[in-house]
Every structure is written in C-alpha cells, then in structure tokens.
Amino acid sequence: MLKRMFGKPKKETNTVSTLDRLHETLEMLEKKERVLQKKISMEVEKAKEFSRSNNKRAAIQCLKRKRLYDVQIEQLGKFQLRIHDQMAMLEGAKATTETVAALRTGASAMKAIQKAMSIDDVDKTMDEVNEQTENMKQIQEALSVSSSVADLDDDDLEAELEDLDGTELEQQLLRPSTTATAMPTPAAPMPTPAIPATKEQAWRAPQKISQQKAAAEEDELAALQAEMAL
C-alpha cells in the first residue's frame, strides 16, 4: 500500500534532502487529513437533514461514508507517526555523524600538533625559561641597593648615633650666650668664657661655667645682705 501511495522509494545519500522529502510528505498527509475531516463534517450534516426528513436509508448511507473517512484518517495518523519516527532517527543520525566528524577533525588537529611538538622540545623550552629567569634574578640582585643597607650591623649604627649626639652637644657648648642676668645692685660684670679651641677644652667648658655661676650667686647674695643692713 505504501508503494502505491508514494511510489518506489529512491535512495537518498544526502540526509538533508531526505529530511526535506519527509517534511513534504508529512505536509501532504496532514492536508489529506484536513480534507477528510471536512468530508466527515459534511456527511454528518447530511445525515441530520435526512433524519429530519424521515429518510433513514439516506442518513445511514451518510454515516457509512463517515466511518470510511474515519478509517482513512486513522491510517493517515499512523503514516504521520511513522514519518515522525523516521525523521527523528535521521536527525539523530545526522547529529551523530556531525559529532563524529567534529571529533575526527579534532583528533587530526591534535595529531598534527603532537607531530610538531615533542616532550623533548617542551623540556628544552622549560630549561631555557628557567635559565633566563635565574639570570634575571641575578641581574636584579646586582642592581639592587637595598641589600647593602640590610647587611649593616646594628652596633655600627648605634656607634654612629653616639657620635652624632656628641657632635650636637659640642656645637651647643661652642654657641655664645646672649642673655644677661639682671642684678639688683651694680656688680662686677661676669666674665665671658673663652671659646674653647680644642676638643679637650670643649669638654672642660661645663665645669668652668658652673664655677662662674656659683661666684655670681655669691656676689648677688652679698649685695642683698648689704642692702638689708642699710
């Protein structure tokens, strides 16, 4: 029956063209089904009219034709189901074929890459990279100035700090005094200490200043006692 309806099937090597043919056939079956549905509706309306006119024989004939159309619609439904099944299988086969072709292409590309590159080449390249990295580290260490500062000893830094403190104290002692002490009564001017010329004299200067300060305080006390006596 299928051969009478569709003729002798032709071999289709192209999956896409085969799917197109199946789509066309499916549309044709759906169109026939719609035509039969219209005929069934017409037969039902005729059967109702004959029944109202008490022509039962004609009404029964209409119902018989309706049942024949129902059988044909049922067959068309089965045909459509078979075509849907065939289309699904072809689409699945097409997807499988394309997947296999893509995997085959990827395998060929991977094989070509492996031919162009071996494990020995990779090891050699990594050795060169490590060598260049080590050389760059040595260059950076040679140009770095922070390493010399980090290697200084704390004892040397403390000794340098003590020298700075001693130099600052010496400069303060060598600076001349610009303030004068107010006396209640005229007194002898306080002699200005001589600026030490050597480092040894600079260390003795504090002792002389203390003696001169004590003498000035004694003179001030004597002047106050004399004023009270008056």
List the domain boundaries for the chain: 2-116
Percent of all residues in the chain with a pLDDT value above 90, rounded to a whole number: 27
- From CA 153, how far away is CA 146, in angstroms rounded? 14
Give the pLDDT of residue 120.
Answer: 78
Residue of 230, 229, 225, 219 whose CA lies nearest to 187: 219
User: CA–CA distance from 31 to each of 35, 80, 99, 107, 135 (Å)?
Assistant: 6, 11, 35, 47, 81
Write down the CATH number for the domain with range 2-116. 1.10.287.1060
pLDDT bin (cut points 50, 70, 90) of residue 190 is low
Give the pLDDT of residue 6.
Answer: 43
Token pair of 63, please?
């119902």
DSSP secondary structure of 50-81: HHHTT-HHHHHHHHHHHHHHHHHHHHHHHHHH
pLDDT bin (cut points 50, 70, 90) of residue 123 is confident
| pLDDT mean over 120-126 | 82
Which ranges constitute the DSSP H helices of the chain? 2-6, 15-52, 56-116, 119-143, 146-150, 154-174, 199-229
Token pair of 51, please?
């029944």
pLDDT bin (cut points 50, 70, 90) of residue 43 is very high
Average pLDDT, the chain: 76
Q: Residues of 117-143 as b/e, b for ≥16 C-beta within 10 angstroms?
A: eeeeeeeeeeeeeeeeeeeeeeeeeee
pLDDT bin (cut points 50, 70, 90) of residue 162 is confident
pLDDT bin (cut points 50, 70, 90) of residue 99 is very high
